[in-house]
Chain A
Amino acid sequence: MSQARVLVVDDNKWIQQTLPALLEEEGYQVEVAWNGEEGFRRVCTDQIDLVITDVSMPEVDGLELIRLMRRDPFFQRVPIIAITAFGSRKLDEAKDAGANVCFSKPLDHPTLLDNVARLTKKAPAP
């Protein structure tokens, strides 16, 4: 069974390290992008099963990334988890843009991983 491929999009240099490490530990294959533009390029070129994106990022932000994906027939169905260190206003915006689930930072990691599992519908590797 092939591993689910998760794309993490965040501009924070530490979260770029810690979040992929957590997911890899759970058996996912993880790609990292630092803003929305790079994230969308990865979505187009790599076979991505789930996107975890920060909302506020330089140049093309997470909201824009979500909108781009939701407009595109190829990626409309790719699940998206939005995360943000900003308040609930940003979470609502992300939800409106089309994110499946939204979380605030700092994250509750078990809940995040449960949702990743649910949305990828692929059992993590043992």
Chain B
Amino acid sequence: MLTRVGEPRAARLAVAWLVIGLLLASMVGVPFALYVWGKQIRNRLAFEVAPFELVLERTGRAMAVRERTLRAYLYEPTPERFAHWQESRVVLDEALAEARRMATAHEPEMVDDVAELVELAAAWEETAADVVARAAMDRMGALGVSARPGPVYDSFQGALGTAQSEIEATKDQLVADMGVADDARAAMPLLLALLSIPVMVYTARLSSNVLTLLAVARGEQQRLAAILEHMVDPVLVTDREGKVTLLNPAARSVLAMHPGDRIGSLGPRLRRALRAESIEPAAMLDAIARADAIAETEAVVEVDGDAIPVSISSAPIRVDRDPIGAVTVLRDLTDRVRYEEKRLEADRFQSLGAMAERIAHDFGNYLEAASAATVMLEKPSAADPAKRSRWIGIIRATFEEGRSVLAGLRTLSFVGHEPRLTPVVLESVVDRAVDVARLARRDAQRIEIERELAGRTPVRASEQDLARAIVNIVVNAIDAMPYGGRIDVRCEADDHRARIVVRDQGVGIAPEDMQRIFDMYYTTKGERGSGMGLSLAREVLRVHGGDIRVESAPGAGTTFVLELPRVQDHEIPARDPAGPDDQDTRMEATS
């Protein structure tokens, strides 16, 4: 949520900071560039333009000296003056050569100007040489107006003036540029500072927004932490390796877990809930470690020796759709289980009432028939032996029926007694119990009972009680198949537990009945059931340290699994203790 709101702001903030960065860089970079430019201009002025100007000036002066020494020689042709005139040429030639070199090196546009100067100088020299030669020949008198080098000299000075003014223009341009560079350098920081103001304001506003967002996020985080802190149910956050990264105090105290523990370490303390739909704890913890979702799955967790029923929910934590871990909540179901038990208790009372009413109904009918028959025996018509024996027969039959109801009720007296357990072979008990169950139900002829009882699994049991429990389960299976079918009865065992599995192909158990099938007096079989068989069987298994599980669906048959502890082989006596003389022939099926 927060990142979603923050994303565009963060982008704008990044742009603003980029602009600020550019401005700061300009503040340093632009003045520096201006400084470099100014320096270049100064260098050019000092080392190129100014010396060239000087050379041109020197050339002009050298030419003037040349003209003057020529005139002085012509006026009075002495050897000294001739020598002066000759020497002055060296100076002019040097100055011209220098000008040519510098123009070539630094002022390409001046090369032609310099070349013109050189040509004019050459022309002057030629004319001067001519004048000097003629003067020597004519002895001064022949010095006419026509042969003087003056005009060439004027041309030279004119050309020189042009070159000088050109270089002057270059110099002026450079000086102007230098002024621009200096001014810009001075004005730049101010300009940039002015530009920075709006950007800075904008950035400050954005930054304050981001800070507000961060504060909100921190508040959220603290609130979340507070919620987690005060949650009664343990909450665990795990990473993709199934390592606990965050947990609330409830998880710390109830589960004794700490950050860095593996979620798998909960395994030994987690048990499967008794309901058929619960998952194996190991599979559940694996799913959490893989960040798979788990919805409200029941399990039992051991805390300080107590078994606490919990509902485990786990949801993956995703970042851009990739799971980075899981958050797992264990909800304590103790209250709910207690409430359900209370409700079941209430139902039990109801079924107890129904049972009492049914017994009262049966006995009411028996007594009515018997008492009416007794009245009839007192009538004169009872003198007829046929009628007499008819009434006596009815009295006897009602007594017989009452006795069998009582036999069923008597099995209730088992509940609450600790039976005497002796080592027995489970398979032989099961085998005989199946025989008894067949006898107990005449309609069992339509039913095929498949036995897989090859092993010899030692268990400690009250043989009579265990057999009675098995008979009840098998009779139930027979009753569940009114149109015939097959029942599989087999024994399995591992090192610690022995199991009797009874699977039928019958009508199955509706989910709404599943909770109550083990309740005392609860029956779905109407007249045929007393509602005692399964509750008795469960009680028997309980006192044997075992339990009964049932898996069923309407129309899909039912599987009962009776589980009890097995003992070591050497505990069974060599002789099978349950002989045919034993009590099992007196067992009664109470379905």
Contact between chains at B357 and A15 (CB < 8 Å): no
Nearest chain B CB to A28's CB is how many angstroms away?
14
How far in angstroms is the closest Cβ of chain B from A57?
A: 12
Q: A19-B372, A22-B372 are in contact. Are A105 and B367 (CB under 8 A)?
A: yes
Bound form: Cα–Cα A56–B365 in Å: 11
* Residue total for A at the interface (Cβ-Cβ under 8 A): 19
Whether A86 touches B360, Cβ cut-off 8 Å, given contacts A14-B365, A18-B376, is: yes
Contacts of A14 in B (CB 8 A): 365-366, 369, 373, 394, 397-398
Mask: chain A, 14-39; 1 = CB below 8 Å from B; 0 = not: 11011101100100000000000000
A86 → B minimal CB distance (Å): 5
Check if A87 is an interface residue, CB within 8 A of chain B: yes
- B177 contacts chain A at the CB level, 8 A cutoff: no
A25 near B376 (CB under 8 angstroms)?
A: yes
Contact A18 B372 (CB under 8 A): yes
Q: How far is the CB of B563 from chain A (nearest CB, A)?
A: 40
- A125 interface residue, CB < 8 Å from B? no
Q: Count residues on chain B whose CB falls below 8 Å from chain A CBs.
A: 23
- From residue 93 to 126 of chain A, which have CB atoms closer than 8 A to chain B? 104-107, 109
**C-alpha spacing A21/B390, complex, angstroms:** 11
Complex partner residue of A105 from B368, B375, B376, CB under 8 angstroms: B368
| B376 proximity list for chain A (CB < 8 A) | 18, 21-22, 25
Give the contacts of B340-389 with A (CB-CB under 8 A): 357, 360-369, 371-373, 375-376, 379, 381
Of listed B363, B381, B394, residue having the most chain A CB within 10 A: B394
- In contact, A85 and B372 (Cβ under 8 angstroms): no
Closest chain B residue to A83 by CB distance?
Answer: B368
> Nearest B residue to A108 by beta-carbon distance?
B371
Q: Name the A residues within 8 Å of B362 (CB-CB).
A: 85
Q: Bound complex: CA of A100 vs CA of B368, how far in Å? A: 21
CB nearest neighbor in B for A17 = B394
A109 to B368, CA, bound (A): 9
Which residue on A lies nearest to B372, using beta carbons?
Answer: A18
Q: By the criterion CB–CB under 8 Å, are B364 and A85 in contact?
A: yes
A20: nearest residue on chain B (CB-CB)?
A: B372
- Contacts A18-B372, A18-B373, A25-B379 given; does A105 touch B394 at CB 8 Å: no
Contacts of A87 in B (CB 8 A): 357, 360
Chain A residues within an 8 Å CB radius of B364 = 84-86, 104-106
Which of A12, A17, A85, A109 has a CB less than 8 Å from the CB of B375?
A: A109
Q: Are A106 and B371 closer than 8 Å at their CB atoms?
A: yes
Please name all residues of chain A whose beta carbon is closer than 8 Å to the beta carbon of B381 when the two chains form the complex: 25
Which residues of B are found within 8 Å of A15, using beta-carbon distances? 365, 368-369, 372
* Across-interface contacts of A18 in B (CB, < 8 A): 368-369, 372-373, 376, 391, 394
Pair A56/B372 contact, Cβ less than 8 Å: no
Q: Is the CB of B373 within 8 A of A85?
A: no
Bound-complex Cα distance A87 to B357 (A): 7
B361: chain A residues within 8 A (beta carbon): 56, 84-86
Q: How far is the CA of A12 from the CA of B401 in the complex (A)?
A: 12
A12 touches B365 (CB 8 A): yes
Q: In the bound complex, what is the Cα–Cα distance between A14 and B379 (angstroms)?
A: 18
Most buried by B among A17, A19, A86: A17
Give the residue name and chain of the A residue nearest to B395 (CB). Answer: A14
Known: A14-B398, A17-B390, A105-B367. A86 touches B372 (CB 8 A): no
The answer to whether A21 and B372 touch across the interface, beta carbons within 8 angstroms, is yes
A contact residues around B379 at 8 Å (CB): 25
Q: B233 to nearest A CB, angstroms?
A: 46
Rounded to whole angstroms, the CA-CA distance of A107 and B366 in the bound complex is: 11
What's the minimum C-beta distance from B351 to chain A, rounded to whole angstroms? 16
In Å, the complex CA distance between A105 and B372 comes to 11
A6 to B371, CA, bound (A): 20
Residue on B nearest A55 in the bound complex, by CB:
B361
Contact indicator per residue, chain A 46-60, by CB within 8 Å of chain B (1) or not (0): 000000000010000
Q: A85-B362, A105-B368 are in contact. List 5 more A-B contacts (CB 8 A).
A: A14-B366, A18-B373, A18-B394, A56-B361, A106-B371
Q: Can you list 19 A-B pairs with a CB-CB distance of less than 8 A?
A: A12-B368, A14-B369, A14-B394, A14-B398, A15-B369, A15-B372, A17-B369, A17-B390, A17-B394, A18-B368, A18-B373, A21-B376, A25-B379, A84-B364, A85-B363, A86-B360, A87-B360, A104-B364, A105-B368
Measured CB to CB, the residues of B under 8 A from A are 357, 360-369, 371-373, 375-376, 379, 381, 390-391, 394, 397-398
Which residues of chain A have a CB within 8 Å of any CB of chain B? 12, 14-15, 17-19, 21-22, 25, 56, 84-87, 104-107, 109
Closest 6 CB pairs of A and B: A85-B364, A18-B372, A14-B369, A105-B364, A106-B367, A85-B361
